[in-house]
Chains A and B, each alone.
Chain A
């Protein structure tokens, strides 16, 4: 499911993805394993969260940005 709603905030799926990253950077495969979401949706969702500034990407790993960290607190 989409990770960002029309108002620019993370959806429940987006929040679950962000929370999966709170202990450190993960690959999409690791996020899929942790959240139980299908890998294709995790890849799509991480792309959305990155475009919206909630996560940052280093090669194949994703981590919370300051905005992402604030969103789950």
Chain B
């Protein structure tokens, strides 16, 4: 990457406020602030009318109702025009029988893409890679995924991340590897030697003082 490309392309950091934007979309002009109070998945794809992207858009549409149940909205992005997005959405409906219910940003000047580090020149100098930014109701970036052009994203993992983040927020716990809703969660480890000695007597399912799990009440 050249120095000028580094200057242009900023990379967000977990926990920071998501970079603000106002962008033309297939559902009108939208700002990041229009999503305050709800979770947002902002995701980019390389180009309209391409095979992997089409499978992803169908897959995102298939989890849309599940996302809505979790107070999550979807917002797509590529550097194509609104007309191209509209033609592609219509094509998905006509040929694949899938209605795309969420807006797509037409980021022709790459303004949003550069703010979110979506252009990776080693992959493509002009197209956005497959990014996912999970932004919470306070507009903070809570998770980021970057996939190469050749690899379609896994919707179940995206839903799993949303469930994990919302569980962490609600119960102040962490979630272990491969966790799914309903499975035991990780109790935050004690920070003192006294706490470590007490932990094993607290009734949790412990491997040792620093690795204890508990079941959450059914919600």
**Could you tell me which A residues sit within 8 Å of B by CB distance?**
1-3, 38-41, 43-45, 47-48
Chain A residue nearest in CB terms to B31: A44
In the A-B complex, the 9 residue pairs with the smallest Cβ-Cβ separation, listed nearest first, are A2-B28, A40-B34, A43-B34, A44-B28, A40-B35, A44-B34, A44-B30, A1-B27, A40-B73
- Cα distance A43–B28 in the bound complex, in angstroms: 11
Which residues on A sit within 8 Å (CB–CB) of B30?
A: 40, 44
Contacting A at CB under 8 A, from B14-45, are 27-31, 33-35, 37-38
* With A38-B73, A40-B73 as contacts: A48 and B29 at CB distance below 8 Å: yes
Which residues on A sit within 8 Å (CB–CB) of B31?
A: 43-44
B29 touches A41 (CB 8 A): no
- Cα distance A44–B29 in the bound complex, in angstroms: 7
A39 touches B38 (CB 8 A): yes
14 contacts between A and B (CB under 8 A): A3-B28, A38-B73, A39-B34, A39-B37, A40-B30, A40-B38, A40-B73, A41-B28, A41-B34, A43-B31, A44-B27, A44-B31, A44-B34, A47-B29
Chain A residue nearest in CB terms to B27: A1
Say what secondary structure dominates the interface of chain A.
helix
A47 CB → nearest B CB, Å: 8
B37 touches A2 (CB 8 A): no
Which residues on B sit within 8 Å (CB–CB) of A44?
A: 27-31, 34
Which of the listed residues A3, A40, A45 has the most CB atoms from chain B within 10 Å of its own CB? Answer: A40
Which residues on B sit within 8 Å (CB–CB) of A2?
A: 27-29
A57 CB → nearest B CB, Å: 14
Which residues on A sit within 8 Å (CB–CB) of B73?
A: 38, 40
- Cα distance A43–B115 in the bound complex, in angstroms: 23
A1 CB → nearest B CB, Å: 6
Which residues on A sit within 8 Å (CB–CB) of B35?
A: 40
Which residues on B sit within 8 Å (CB–CB) of A41?
A: 27-28, 34
A45 touches B28 (CB 8 A): yes
- Cα distance A3–B34 in the bound complex, in angstroms: 15
- Cα distance A22–B13 in the bound complex, in angstroms: 44
- Cα distance A58–B37 in the bound complex, in angstroms: 20
Which residues on B sit within 8 Å (CB–CB) of A39?
A: 34, 37-38
B136 CB → nearest A CB, Å: 15
A11 CB → nearest B CB, Å: 9
Which residues on B sit within 8 Å (CB–CB) of A45?
A: 28
